[in-house]
Every structure is written in C-alpha cells, then in structure tokens.
Chain A
Amino acid sequence: MKGLNLKKDCKELNLGLWHCPPFIVIMMGVIIIITMLATYTLASRYVDEPEVAALIVIFVTILLIIFGNIIIIGFSKMAEASRMQSEFISIISHQLRSPLSIIKWTLNDARRELQKENSLHNPELLFYTTEQALRQMTDLINTLLEVKRIEANMLVIKQEEVSLAELTLKVVGELQNYAKASNVNIVLQADNDLPIVMGDPNRLQMAVQNLVDNAIRYSQGRGEIEIKITKEKNFLRFVVKDTGIGIPKAEHRKIFQRFFRASNSSRFQTKGTGLGLYTVKVFVEAMGGRVGFESEEKRGSIFWFTLPIKK
C-alpha cells in the first residue's frame, strides 16, 4: 500500500524513483539498519568489551544519519526546483498567451471589418489594444531576463547620474492611457530643485514603472494615486500611494519573494507573475537604496524606496 502511494507521489513530482526524496528517505532508513547490524556483528567479533562495541555502533549510526540527512536535503531541494520550474513554465506561457490571444482576435476582427466595409470604425482602439498587449509581452520578457541575471549573479548595475523626477514623469506619461482606461487619476508631486541620484537608469525606470503599474492595477477601477519625491538628508525618497485592495497582514513578510502574489491580488487581478516587487527590491538595494511598504487590506498600499544622492 505504502509502495503504491510512493510511486504516485514520485510521479506527481515528475521524478524517477532514485531521484525522489520520499523513496530516498526509506532507502536511507534501510541502509542505516543494515549498517547498524553489520557494525554490531563486526564489532562484537573483533572488540572484547561490549560497551566499546555499542559506542562504535552508535558513532557509525550518527554519522550515517548526518550524511543521510545532507543527501535527502539535497534531493528535496532538487525536487522543489524541478516543481518550481514546471510551475514557472506554465505561469509564463499562460502570461504570454493572454496578450497573444488579444492581438490575434483583435486583428482577426479588424481584417473582417476591412474586408466588409473597406475601413475601420475605431482604428485608435485597435492600436491601443494591440500596443497594450505588446507592452505586456515586452515587459514580461524583460523581467524574465532580469530575473535570470539576478539568479545567476550576473546583474551589472550601472552607477550613473539620474534625475528621479524626470524619469518618473516619463513613466507616468507612458502609463497615462492605462490609468485613464482604469479610471484612475495620477498626481505627481516633486520638490523643486531635487538633487541628482546615482543609479542605473533602465533598472530604476523598471522599478518606478512596476510600482506605479501595480498601484493602477490594484486600484479596482477607481481612485487616485499620489506619487511624491522628496529630499531627506543624503537620499531621495520616492513614495507611491494608492487606495486599492491592499495586502493582507499575514502576507506582508512574503510580498518581495519571487513568484509570490497576495491571495487577494490573484482573486482581483488575474494578470501577474509575482516577479515585479521582487525585481524592484533587488534593483533598488543594488543601487544602494532601501525599499519598504505599509498596507492595509481594502484600504490601499504605500510603497516607497530611497536612493543615495550624488556626492
């Protein structure tokens, strides 16, 4: 009976028997018992005092348990990595297929309209829809490549002079259509004569874009987003405040983890990979800044980061 379950468990993990942690645990147990018996037989034959023989058996058993655990932990990590990899592939392929279906059906529809009437009723909507879908795919692929660099320790962060206010203005401009379509108003407040910060312009833009995009996405189709940039001592503080769905308290500590999505976010917004905030944190910290947030479910969230001012 147990054997049958074991086979099923290993099949679910998509692993062969000899790579499957539950099976290896049982095999390690069998090996430990056999070794204990063998050590006892040898020790009782060659060692006169029974106490010494018993000590040898205990010592060998402890060693085996320690090595056995190290091996099992290694295999469990491999099994977990393999499970995450297959989950990752299905999440990503689904996230790419969604905008692809939008482009495909929108173009199907436009072609039919052109064939029938020789013109398009609403070309602006056609461009907006396909451009949004393309942006979604480009962002996803860029994020994936960044995650790959982070995981491989190959992230090279530039240290250049950046105007955080100008960069934010540009990002807000690009997201304006999306905000309008989501019935959300964005208010940007930046102190006059803000100093230049040091950072990687592209990564900083991705971070700002992620935070503002999240604020729009989780605003439930109404509300106002306040973005503030202020100078504090030797750093700039960037704050984005929304009145959206917020994050449940129990999930606060997981929010920057890779692939994590808050339970209420997936219920409300079906798009998302759980990679956005993870990359924001890695980027900002690599530029010498800090990231944090405050959030209350159903009330909204305030995300912030700091960056050092150019000396």
Chain B
Amino acid sequence: MKKVLFIEDESALQRAVTKIMTEEGYQVFSALDGEAGVEIAKKEIPDLILLDLILPKKDGFAILEELKNDSATKHIPVIILSNLEGNAEVQRALELGAQAYLVKVNYRLEEVVGKIKSFV
C-alpha cells in the first residue's frame, strides 16, 4: 500500500483528503503542524508528501528545504497544497524542489487525487 503524508493545520481539510485517499487505497498519515510533519516524514518515508505552506511551528518552505537536504527523504515527491499564489511563493517552492504547486481553492478533491495518482 502506497503511503501519503498530508501536512496541513486545518483539520477539516485533513478529514476530507484522508477519507478520499483511504478509499482510493492509500495509507494516509496526517500532521497538523510543521514539526510533526518532518518527524513523520523521516520515520515513515512516505511515497508522496502533500504540503501546506503556512503552518504552525515550522513553515512549508523550511520543511521542504529540510526534506530535500536529507538523503533519506530527498527522493520523495512533494506537492504543495496552498492558498498562497504569489509568483515569489510558487517560484521559491519549485526551486526548493517541489514537484507541483496546487492552489487549494481552485481544485476539487477528485482533481487533487488525480494529481497524486500521476506521481504514485
């Protein structure tokens, strides 16, 4: 079973994504803040990470940087799921090694799943 880690502080979004991904046959790990996210990523080595940018304790950019600088986690594809859409944020996330950048409000749950499936 493929493992997906979702780092997002909004529990309603966590619930919705976890449910649909579980139905699709993935094992989903949830982290509600940045520090917990990094910890789970290093422990579980998921096949894909969904990452919000504005997070308590450690923001998405710092997480991305840390994971991409760690030989154990740098191969894991990361999809940014954020509602920020500034050129600076998108460019920075892609430069730090994110594979895709999705603006949450512009995507339906099914479309997010479609994007995940194109990676794992």
Contact = CB atoms under 8 A, between A and B. Distances in A.
| Most interface-central of B9, B13, B16, B20 (chain A CB within 10 A) | B16
A108 interface: yes
Contacts of A258: none
Nearest to B55: A270
B10 interface: yes
A299 interface: no
B70 to A, nearest CB: 23
Nearest to B15: A109
Contacts of A105: 12-13, 16-17, 104, 108-109
| Most interface-central of A102, A105, A106, A129 (chain B CB within 10 A) | A105
Contact of B13 (A90, A101, A112, A268): A101
Interface string A132-168: 0100000000000000000000000000000000000
Contacts of B84: 90, 94
Interface residues of B, number: 22
B9 to A, nearest CB: 6
B114 interface: no
A106 B109 CA distance: 9
B24 to A, nearest CB: 11
A90 B104 contact: no
A98 interface: yes
Given A100-B105, A106-B12, A270 B56 contact: yes
Interface string B1-41: 00000000110110111011000000000000000000000
B108 A108 contact: yes
A102 B13 contact: yes
Contacts of B86: 90
| Most interface-central of A101, A102, A109 (chain B CB within 10 A) | A101
B114 to A, nearest CB: 13
13 contacts: A94-B83, A94-B84, A97-B104, A98-B83, A101-B13, A101-B104, A101-B105, A102-B10, A102-B13, A104-B108, A112-B20, A267-B56, A268-B56
